[in-house]
Amino acid sequence: MLRISSRTCPSLRWTRVTHPCRYLRIPMSTDAKVTNPVVTSSSTPQPVSHPTGLDRESLGGTVDTRPQLTDGWKWEDSDDSVLAYGVLIALLLAGNIPGLPKSQLADVPYFIGLAVTTVYIGAHRSLTTTQRQMISIKEGALAPVLASVSLFGCYLVVKFFPGLNLQAFLNAYFWLIGTFALLGSSGPLLRKVAGPLGEKSQKVQLPEGLLLNEEGDAVTEAEYAPSDIIALFLSLGLATLEVSSNHTNFTLNNLLACLIATDVLQLVGLRSFRTAGLTLVGLLLYDVFWVFGSPAVVGDNVMLTVATSEIITGPTRILFPRMPGGVGEAADFDFSLLGLGDIAVPGLLACLALRYDASRAVDMRARAQAAGSAIMTALSSLGATASSREVADSTADAASKAYDSFADKEQTQRERTTNGAQSLPEKLEQSQNLKSNLLSGSQQEATEIKLLPNSDAVLQQRPYFQAVASSYIAGLVMAFVANSVTHLGQPALLYIVPCTLGAVIATAVSRDELYRIWSYTDVPTYGMPGEALKKAAEKEKKQQQ
């Protein structure tokens, strides 16, 4: 049954259409009149007076299964982002409450709050980032090796070149990346909360070739909001203050460290859960060896020595003033600390979990808008003498097709990201012969595939992300308890990695999605602008011919 009812508003008349799946509310011109507001399948066909001479633009546009509701959505522009940044700022300020550093275990909720909020922000910023560097299985396997080389190199500098002054170089480096991290967060945030000052109303001409957009086209004119100027000076000022304090102001240090971590999570991602498992387990072994194993090999705790060094300092760790009279390793160091790697590494898994959630999310509003747009297009194509039955049949058919078309695209996208596997054994067989260009990372396939954009529907459908975030908190608590009991520095990944990977597996088993998790591959990106990627694909195609 299709039922059309109308009610008058001050400036619009709304038509409510009952589709077999749901109600749709469609704005129509105030001139639109429906002679028979109730139409059923048993109604006798009667003439219907409806607007004539209305083009598609006046009726809200053409049929589009990728509606504007989701095309332009970015998490940074949502109220959820304002809340998340507000929590981050509140936590940073709470660390300065008088007397708090003297409270026993006050650092635990402080560290956990900052770590979880940082992961939350970074993961959600990654949802609508079109250019991400994806870590493959080979790169994930090399990560512990490269991290070990870097860490041991820093240890050699600290141990054998104590007079070497690298701080000027490091200060310049951290000032630069800190400024960009602050600007990347404060810019969208201020545009969201600044009202009219946050609207892009100013333009500036740029030299041709200076900047390229994501499609690879030259940007000759840039728009900015007045709030962007405030964000720029705020970022420059805070980064300068942090560097001038020699990274000893723990609030400013933590601010930059958290925002740098969110940038990393936004721009770098794991290609699959298989890659995530290999990478996280490898880094767990790396963490355990350099904390517990290095004293037996080199006679010193390499990880702790580098982390507490005064030669190599910067916003690479979260700090909290240590209680006077503390005991244990590095008791003479003024701060308790949590390494940035203990945030970024599990954060990569949280990002992947959230992007998987987004790939499975059902965007009902987008489906409804696609159906509504189809109904308006159908109405505009009817003649002035169309009967009520013709109106009902035409709009119902258009809405059903548009609704189903969007649903089919969502399903196709899910199948692409899991290689179409319907069971774990089938996926294991397929993995021996990677027939999907998407999974193998083909540039041509990445160019040709038109993926649906993520939408805010994921904010209500995040089972895997919530499982990872909860287990991350549990892992951090376990690490702090072990530190409190043993008074020894702890490899936090020893507790975090089993908790987070176990949470993913447990959630997948409970939802009967283990084969989908095994099959899932995030959309590959290559760090190339869209136009350059397209040209590379065309070149590859010509060579094959």
Average pLDDT over residues 23-47: 41
Residues 31 and 105 placed together within one structural domain of the fold: no
Q: Whole-number mean pLDDT of the chain? A: 75
Residue showing tokens 């059902």: 362
pLDDT in tens, 481-521: 998 888 888 899 999 999 999 999 999 999 998 988 988 88
Whether 120 maps to a domain, the answer reads yes
Residues 214 and 253 placed together within one structural domain of the fold: yes
Residues 313 and 175 placed together within one structural domain of the fold: yes
User: Is the CB of residue 284 less than 8 Å from the CB of residue 494?
Assistant: yes
This model's pTM is above 0.85: no
Residues 301 and 406 placed together within one structural domain of the fold: no
Residues 193 and 207 placed together within one structural domain of the fold: yes
Asked if the model's pLDDT at residue 38 lies above 80, the reply is no
C-alpha to C-alpha distance for 94 and 96, rounded to whole angstroms: 5
Residues 31 and 89 placed together within one structural domain of the fold: no
C-alpha to C-alpha distance for 125 and 132, rounded to whole angstroms: 11
Whether 119 maps to a domain, the answer reads yes
Whether 448 maps to a domain, the answer reads no
Residues 265 and 384 placed together within one structural domain of the fold: no
Whether 516 maps to a domain, the answer reads no
Whether 353 maps to a domain, the answer reads yes
Average pLDDT over residues 384-408: 68
Structure tokens at 362: 């059902």
Residue showing tokens 């940044």: 85
Q: What share of the chain is helix, strand, coil (3-state, %, to 5)?
A: 60, 10, 30
Number of domains observed in the structure of the chain: 2
Please state, for a pLDDT cut of 70, what percent of the chain lies above it. 67
Dihedral angle over CA of 309, 313, 315, 320, nearest 10: 40
Which is more confidently placed, 110 or 334? Answer: 110
Supply φ then ψ for residue 319, to 5 degrees: -115, 155
* Predicted pLDDT of residue 86: 96
Residues 166 and 235 placed together within one structural domain of the fold: yes
Q: Domain containing 393: what range?
A: 3-68+362-417
Residues 184 and 134 placed together within one structural domain of the fold: yes
Residues 111 and 207 placed together within one structural domain of the fold: yes
pLDDT in tens, 62-101: 333 333 333 467 888 889 999 999 999 999 999 988 878 7
Residue showing tokens 């589009």: 64
Residues 255 and 321 placed together within one structural domain of the fold: yes
pLDDT in tens, 420-453: 444 444 444 444 443 344 433 434 444 444 555 6
Whether 170 maps to a domain, the answer reads yes
* Predicted pLDDT of residue 461: 83
Whether 232 maps to a domain, the answer reads yes
Asked if the model's pLDDT at residue 6 lies above 70, the reply is no
Residues 57 and 157 placed together within one structural domain of the fold: no
Whether 529 maps to a domain, the answer reads no
C-alpha to C-alpha distance for 446 and 439, rounded to whole angstroms: 10
